[in-house]
Amino acid sequence: MPGFDNPLTVSRRGLLAGAGGVAVLAALAACAPAGGGGGGSGAIKFWNMPWGNTQFTPLDKKITLGYKPKSGLPSASYQAVQWANFTTTFASAVASNTGPAVSSGSGTQAFQFSQQNRIAYADHLLESWKSNGMYDDFLPGLLDTMKTSRGYVALPYNLDMRALWYRKSLLEKAGVEPPTDWQSYLDVCEALKKIGIFGYGIAAGAQGNGAQGIVGLMINNGGGLFDHDQKPNCVTPQNIQALEFIVEMVKKGYMDPGSVSYSSSNAQAQWKNDKFAMGFEAPSLAQILGGTVQDDMRVGDPLVSANGTKGALYFPNNIMMYKNTPSQKGSEAFLTYYYQSMKQLWTTSTGAGLPVLRSIAETPEFRADANAAKMVDVWQPVCKTWAAPGNDALFPNVALVDSTPAMSTFAQSILSLKVTPKDALSTLQKAITAGMK
């Protein structure tokens, strides 16, 4: 998974680390009988990932252990699961019925385990939240991303996205205003090139997130990778036009040639060294860069594409419940408490990504970060998931395009100008189709 060299890069998003991880997850989960109450009479085991900086896990554990259940319901225990080998950790634990009752994990993990009949759907819990206002507290469209034909597989928890960032001082040095559409983006890149700065900052190496930024521009133009039937549909006019826009930037020298193999760390160094002035990056970028550069970072407006549309790629990370629990009622009671108590994770600078609840996004502490507030207010409403343009609901096969070798190859082939946009999209579609079950 790209970005593990820094705890605040795309590792926070936590989507599955390629098709190999998916295969391990599915194979191990299939080793034991499906369903079953299990779990004994112990506590509700909550497993969470280190979504932020070093302050995140201690505070998250404190919140969890502060749960005081009603009489007759189990208490909660806490376990932090590290990103390294996390797919195997979850898969083996679930297969042996020693796993959690509630957890976060990869963004597609719930969809994978639901195929193995391991997930306890969240419909009853969400219905109970309608009476206390919690159901309506989610940001627009987020619950729809979790909905399948069998019910809601999980609850939205935190958001990652690929938004447009820029260095304010570098654009001022070039004498230009932030771009608002694709043509003005090209114009700004040209002005930056004249002073030796790259306007299309991207990292397309195996440890980079370049493919996500490229798909984000496809979505920006009304395209994407899947149709309404959840089948790959990559070779479309919208996608070809988006890749032609990227190719134009590469040919005109607006991209650092080294970007084809850059890791996220390489790209971060270029931002710090005044070489990257614009790029489509994670919400945590400014915090990662730190120092005086952090104060210079700004989130721009969503661009209007050549097709006249706005859009971007985002990742609704989630929390799921499992059938293997000492008490389904207990799991739901714990999650009600947790969602009512987790505000501190976003109001005390733990780097937990963007919140999914309006009540958190509206706090003065969160809104003190103008960039984060803008991503929630302006970017989240136009964002779409990997399932675009068909719909926004995730499904198991989106794991085939998230941080996979096929996606890295796709991005590198475009940025190195080795193939035409149409050929790159055709090759990608074949790879996705071959991996589908």
pLDDT tens across 105-132, in order?
999 999 999 999 999 999 999 999 999 9
**Which domains can be identified in the chain, with CATH numbers?**
10-160+316-377 (3.40.190.10), 161-313+387-435 (3.40.190.10)
Place of tokens 């389904």: 328
**Reported confidence tier of residue 403, pLDDT bands at 50, 70, 90:** confident
- More confident position, 432 or 206: 432
Flag whether pLDDT at 310 surpasses 50. Answer: yes
pLDDT digits (tens, 9 = 90+) for 23-63: 555 544 444 444 433 333 599 999 999 999 999 999 999 99
CA 217 to chain centre: 15
pLDDT digits (tens, 9 = 90+) for 125-177: 999 999 999 999 999 999 999 999 999 999 999 999 999 999 999 999 999 99
pLDDT digits (tens, 9 = 90+) for 73-85: 999 999 999 999 9
- More confident position, 419 or 206: 419
- More confident position, 21 or 69: 69
Q: At what angle do helices 328-341 and 56-65 cross, to 10 degrees?
A: 130
- Biggest CA pair distance of the chain: 70
CA separation for the pair 105, 15 (Å, rounded): 8
Which whole number is the average pLDDT over 402-406?
91
Place of tokens 């990932």: 49
Q: Which of 49, 81, 79, 54 is nearest to 64 (CA)?
A: 79
pLDDT digits (tens, 9 = 90+) for 182-226: 999 999 999 999 999 999 999 999 899 999 999 999 999 999 999
Flag whether pLDDT at 11 surpasses 50. Answer: no
User: Do residues 218 and 242 touch, judged by C-beta distance below 8 A?
Assistant: yes
Amino acid, single-letter form, for residue 144? D
Name, in order, each residue with C-beta under 8 angstroms of 416's C-beta and a sequence gap of 6 or more: 260
User: Do residues 232 and 426 touch, judged by C-beta distance below 8 A?
Assistant: no
CA separation for the pair 33, 26 (Å, rounded): 13
Across 181-292, where does the E strand assignment appear?
278-281
User: The tokens of 300 are what?
Assistant: 């721009």
Flag whether pLDDT at 3 surpasses 50. Answer: no
Paired residues of 298 in beta bridges = 166
Which percentage of the chain shows pLDDT scores above 70?
90
pTM (two decimals): 0.92
**Secondary-structure breakdown of the chain: helix, strand, coil percentages, each rounded to the nearest 5:** 45, 15, 40
Phi, psi of 281 (to 5 degrees): -135, 180
Average pLDDT, the chain: 92
Kindly list the distances between the CA atom of residue 55 and the CA atoms of 62, 254, 297, 353, 357, in Å, as whole numbers in the listed order: 11, 38, 23, 13, 21
pLDDT digits (tens, 9 = 90+) for 320-379: 999 999 999 999 999 999 999 999 999 998 999 999 999 999 999 999 999 999 999 999
